[in-house]
Each structure stands twice: as C-alpha cells, then as structure tokens.
Amino acid sequence: MLNERMEEALNEQINKEMYSSYLYLAMSAYSSSIGLPGFAHWFRVQVEEENIHAMKLFDYINNQGGRVKLKEIKEPPMEFGTPRSMFQQTLKHEQFVTRLIHELVDLARAEKDDNTVSFLQWYVDEQVEEEENDNEIIAKLIDVDDNKDALSELDAKLAKRLPPK
Ligand code: FEO
C-alpha cells in the first residue's frame, strides 16, 4: 500500500520518464534532420527504454493499490546543436533523472516503505547504465572532433543499437 506522498512522487516520476521519452524522440527527429540516421535510431531505442521506465512505475502504482495520475508532458526543444552538444545535453538530463531517483529512494526510506525502496533499486542501477552509455558516446564524439568520416563511422555503429529486452 502506497501512502499519499509516495504515490504523488511516483506519479511525478512517470511524468519525468514520459518527458525523457519525448525529449529523445525530439533528438531522434533532429538527428534525422541533420543526416545522422544511426543517431536517430539510437534515440528511437532510447525512447523505448524511457517508455519502459514509465510503464514500470505505472504498473507498480496500480499493483500497490494506488491511483495513477497522468500529467501534462512538457514540450521538448527542437534544436540540439552539434552531435557532441546533443549528447552532453542527454548526459545532463540523465544526471537530473538520477538525482530524482535518489530523492525518491530517500523519500521511500523516510516513509519506511520497504517495497518501494526495493522497487526503486532497479532504477538506481539503470541510471548508472544510462550515464555510462552517454559518457561512452561523448568520449567517441570527442575523438571524432570535426572528422566527417569518423562521424559517419560512429553513426553506422549507433545504427546497430538493439531494442530493449
Ligand atoms: Fe528513464 Fe533515461 O532515465
């Protein structure tokens, strides 16, 4: 059973995950618009990841006898600059989400809600992975610098990202 504060906070996180999905969909569209189909694909897969994050929260609230409340999703930007800048924005966003997840864990602990503490551990681990992925790609983009062939090569690599399991 979720208490009111926890339910509200988890509902807020659904909204943040849906915004993440929307943000990466915008980045996918932007990548297509600057001729980087592999980047566009990578972000499309990320959209699926974010939808899973949101739906896990949705199911958890329902299964705990809570009430899901869907809120308005903020409009994401349309322009993201260079591929490197775009991934730096991605990393910054993921660091923000990591802070939100840690705040949720703190709240669940304060409310003595062990089920939710345990449920949230999956997100704590997931955020480590999300930030690692972004850092890896940023490192590659630093190597690419202004080299067009190297950027095409990286684009071809990102095109191979598999859908979430
Ligand atoms: Fe759902 Fe990318 O954090």
Residue-wise pLDDT for 40-74, tens only, equals 999 999 999 999 999 999 999 999 999 999 999 99
Distance in angstroms (rounded) separating the CA atoms of residues 127 and 30: 24
CA–centroid distance, 97 to ligand 1, in Å, is 6
pLDDT of amino acid 1: 84
Instruction: Name the packing angle between helices 148-158 and 114-144 (round to 10°).
Output: 150
* DSSP code of residue 78: S
CA–centroid distance, 127 to ligand 1, in Å, is 7
Share of the chain above pLDDT 90, in %: 98
Tell me: the pLDDT tens digits for 6-22?
999 999 999 999 999 99
Nearest atom, ligand 1, residue 130 CA: 2
CA–centroid distance, 70 to ligand 1, in Å, is 17
What is the greatest pairwise CA distance in the chain? 55
**pTM for this one?**
0.97
What domains can be seen in the chain, in order of their start residue?
4-158 (1.20.1260.10)
Report how far apart, in Å, the C-alpha atoms of 116 and of each of 10, 12, 119 are. 10, 15, 5
Reported as half-sphere exposure (CB side, CA atoms, 13 A), residue 153 has a value of: 10
Query: Contacts by 145-154 with C-beta closer than 8 Å and gap 24+?
Result: 151/36, 151/83, 154/38
CA–centroid distance, 147 to ligand 1, in Å, is 30
Nearest atom, ligand 1, residue 17 CA: 1
Nearest atom, ligand 1, residue 94 CA: 2
Ligand 1 neighbours, Cβ below 6 Å, are: 17, 20, 50, 53, 94, 97, 130
CA–centroid distance, 149 to ligand 1, in Å, is 30
Q: Are 141 and 83 in contact (CB under 8 A)?
A: yes
